[in-house]
Amino acid sequence: MPWDSPLYTASGGDLRRFIRSRGALILKTAASVTCIAIVALLFIPTRYQSEVRLLTEGNHAAWMQANANSPLSGLFAAPAGHDVATQVEEIINPTLQNEALSKLHLKQRNVHYQIAQVKNTDVLSIKANASNADHAQSAAQTLANLYLLRSANYRRSELLKARDFAARLQDSALQKLLRAERAEAQFKRKHQIADLNAEQEQREIELGQLGARRNELTHEVAGLQAHLQSCRQQLSRTPQTIQSTTKRSNPKINELREQLAQLETDRKELLVLYKPNHVKIQTIDAGIIALRARLKHEPALVAITTRSSNTERIALARSIQNLKSKLAESSASLNQLTAIIAQLREKIGRLADWQSELERIERDKVTATTTFNNLSQEVINLNISAKAQPAIARIIQPATTPATPFWPNRSQVMATAIGLGLFLGICLGLLKDYQADRIGVVTDTAVVTQRNDELMATDDNPPHSEHKP
């Protein structure tokens, strides 16, 4: 029967016929697979798993303990804790795991650890799986305890080292404080602090007055220099002489007229001796025409330029001379006042040196006192921290003895085996039906073909009938 036959349509009757015909095969296949799974479970070694969870403090604890009022706060503190990923790498260290297993007299191949961070938290998970439930619980708990003990000892040793170092610095600060107190007492006995302050104030007032006068002279000298520079620039732009222009009759006109009159006279004399077209007469005529043309183009008046001394330049030179004299006097006064101020500052400098020395001694004393107090507080804090057994993590979920094995999961294996067996049984049943249908189709086809052949043979050779008379 082909696959598109009604046997494989989604009808309830076909399904029931399929289950009745192939149910035994399906159940046998499922039973066989389940038996194989049961036998496999008998030979697979069981593994138990136990888990410990630690809450880590991270690397921000030192920030929360900082004191903004003390410059030494946090200087001698133990190093901040590592983040969870770093602590995971520390626990994965084979040396630490081997030490934990050696304490339990277990071999490494019998116990397997899984250390990981719980997603998006500061919680660290330590899982141990072994063939024995008690071994799994003790392996997980021992590794966690060993890690906490090591981290606490490391933190405590760092705190103790910091305390000893702070104590040595405290002794040094105490010696500096004693020396500063002795120096302050000796200085006060040697100098009269009250008279020194009064004299220093009086001289500072005098220095302020002289400074104001010097500022006035400085501005005056600067103004004179600017005025002198301006006058010099104006003098450089002022010409030495003044140029003037006047107009008068052009003397060339009279000269040209005299020459023209002379040529006309000469022409008249030559006309007595020669004809008008003679060369000499024509030459004189050409000269007369040229002189008349020049006379026509010559201006009647001409400009005459004269130069004289510039009186403005003389006045500027006198002003520059006066400014130089005033500038020299003011500069001399300024230099004299500057020398006086320098002497007064030298006197005040000696007083200021004493005052600076006293202030230095007082600053050393204050610094030594502050440092000693801060170091004393740090030593106290470090002693308290070392005795508090600091740790970078704490157990929030201790390891428990598992009641059921971690591997294999028998219920899951059996459910999977039964499901797989039923699936294989159904597949085998469908395969059997398919083969049966194919064989049936072939048999029916052979029978029909044989029957057709017989009919055709009968038509070709009809049987002879006997007719009775």
**Tokens standing for residue 407:** 């591997």
3-state helix, strand, coil in the chain (%, to 5): 70, 10, 20
**Given pLDDT bands bounded at 50, 70 and 90, which one contains residue 276?**
confident
pLDDT of 283 reads 86
Mean pLDDT, range 177-186, rounded to an integer: 86
pLDDT band at 63; cut points 50, 70, 90:
very low
CA–CA separation, 283 vs 277, rounded Å?
10
Beta bridge partners of 407: 47
Query: The whole model's pTM is what?
Result: 0.42
The pLDDT of residue 462: 53
- Eight-class DSSP state of 246: E
Average pLDDT over residues 124-144: 88
% of the chain beyond a pLDDT of 70: 79
Angle 206-211-216 from CA coordinates, rounded to 5°:
130
Cross-strand pairs, 248: 302
Q: Are 117 and 91 in contact (CB under 8 A)?
A: no
Measured CA to CA, the distance from residue 25 to residue 424 in angstroms comes to 10
Residues near 396 by beta carbon (within 8 Å), at least 6 away in sequence? 53, 54, 55, 123
Q: How many CB atoms lie within 10 A of CB 275?
A: 8
Instruction: Please give the C-alpha separations between residue 296 and each of 255, 259, 263, 300, 303, in angstroms, as whole numbers.
Output: 13, 14, 17, 10, 19
Least confident residue range of 191-195, 265-269, 272-276, 342-346: 191-195
Q: If we measure between CA atoms, which residue out of 300, 306, 269 comes closest to residue 284?
A: 269
Contact assessment for residue 135 and residue 108, using Cβ atoms and an 8 Å cutoff: no
Detail the DSSP E strand segments found in 313-457: 393-397
- Number of other residues whose CB lies within 10 A of the CB of residue 398: 14
Tell me what the mean pLDDT of segment 13-33 comes to.
Answer: 77
Lowest mean pLDDT among 284-293, 386-395, 413-422: 386-395
Render pLDDT for 355-379 as a digit per residue (tens, 0 to 9): 778 788 888 889 889 888 888 888 8
Q: What is the pLDDT of residues 145-159, one digit of tens each?
A: 888 888 888 778 887
DSSP letter string, 430-448: HHHHHHHHHHHHHHHHHHH
What is the mean pLDDT of the segment spanning 302-317? 75
Residue 347 has pLDDT above 70, yes or no: yes
Domain ranges for the chain: 6-43+409-455, 48-177+379-397, 194-234+325-371, 241-309
Alpha helical stretches, state H, 242-305: 251-273, 279-297
Whole-angstrom Cα distance, residue 35 to residue 20?
23
Q: What is the pLDDT of residues 399-442, one digit of tens each?
A: 888 888 776 667 777 888 788 888 888 888 888 777 776 665 55
Mean pLDDT (the chain, rounded): 78
Q: What share of the chain has pLDDT > 90, as a percent?
A: 1
Longest Cα–Cα distance in the chain = 205
Assign 9 a pLDDT band (cuts: 50, 70, 90). Answer: very low
* Residue 52 buriedness (CB in 10 A; 0-12 / 13-18 / 19+): buried
Number of other CB atoms surrounding residue 369 within 10 Å: 15
Query: What's the CATH architecture for 48-177+379-397?
Result: 2-Layer Sandwich (3.30)
Question: At 448, is the pLDDT very low, low, confident or very high (cuts 50, 70, 90)?
Answer: low
In three-state secondary structure terms, 376 is helix
Report pLDDT digits (tens) over 199-254.
677 778 888 888 888 899 899 889 988 888 888 888 788 777 776 677 777 788 88
- What is the C-alpha to C-alpha distance for residues 22 and 436, in angstroms, rounded to an integer? 12
Q: What is the distance between the alpha carbons of residues 434 and 447, in angstroms, rounded to a whole number?
A: 21
Length of the chain as a residue count = 469
Closest residue by Cα to residue 161 from 74, 62, 78: 78
pLDDT at 7: 43
